[in-house]
Amino acid sequence: MYDNPRSILITGASSGIGAALARHYAGPDRKLFLGGRDQERLDAVAEQCRKAGAAVATFVGDVTDEAGIRDWITSCNDDSPLNLVIANAGVALGATEVGGLHQAAVDSFAINVNGVFNTVHPALEIMSKRRPYPVRDAQVAVMSSVMGYAGMARSPAYSTSKAAVKHYGQALRGAFRGMGIGVSVICPGYVGSALTAQNSAYMPFLMSADKAASIIARGLARNKPHITFPWQMVLITRLAINLPGFLVDRLNQPWGVPRLERQQGN
């Protein structure tokens, strides 16, 4: 089933939640395939996992490289048939000027959305070829965010890219359920990472990456459709998406960061 994966692939594993998940799963009889863009940090995480008893292989690359990621995932599966693939790599890009909106959106979707496609599609193709059905030893997880529950004025590109991931993960879960392949959508709140370290805005209910990894792993073991946390953010988001439109307009404004400046006409 899903509670004891032996062969695990994680993107964005050099820091934050990805690194914490690698450390959480590290142990004897575990093979970890860790991907990231920073060789030095990735090697440091890999060494921690090896000390815990895991066999570890690293890959330095970018999830926007469709062919490169596909080749990597294929070679990992050839080495040790993958039980769990976590598409974790992502960025949080913002814009404080109207002129920066386009590039922030393009770059966010390239990594947060296309990067997920490039990771889960080859994994699902490989897993779906296993027989007999239901396979029960194959699972993918995609990293969304609580901010993906609604379009946020504070971070238009990030929140909408994570909304796309959330809905796509939901769709994949239904599409592959009959094959016995689990698909879970992870929607964390604020978690300590390199991304949040750059954020000067107020971050309610901030938790450590290690605690987040423990929550995620428990949810994946149960093959939960959504792993959303902390509970306070779950409550807030569920209330927010059911508010009347006029209240959403009033509340959905940037807070703690500069507002987009209105462009001056000639």
Please count the CA atoms within 13 angstroms of the CA of 140 that sit on its side-chain side: 31
Whether omega for the bond prior to residue 132 falls within 30 degrees of 0, making it cis, is yes
Rounded Cα distance between 238 and 240, Å, is 5
Rounded Cα distance between 23 and 148, Å, is 26
Beta-carbon neighbour count of residue 15 at 10 Å? 20
| C-alpha torsion sign, points 88, 103, 203, 148 | negative
**β-pair type (226-229, 181-188):** parallel
Q: Which residues have a catalytic role annotated?
A: 158
Beta strands in the chain (DSSP E): 7-10, 31-36, 55-60, 84-87, 138-143, 181-188, 226-229
Q: Where are the alpha helices (DSSP H) in 8-155?
A: 16-25, 39-51, 66-79, 101-112, 114-128
What is the distance, to the nearest Å, from the Cα of residue 183 to the centroid of all Cα atoms in its chain? 12
Name the token pair of 264: 């001056």
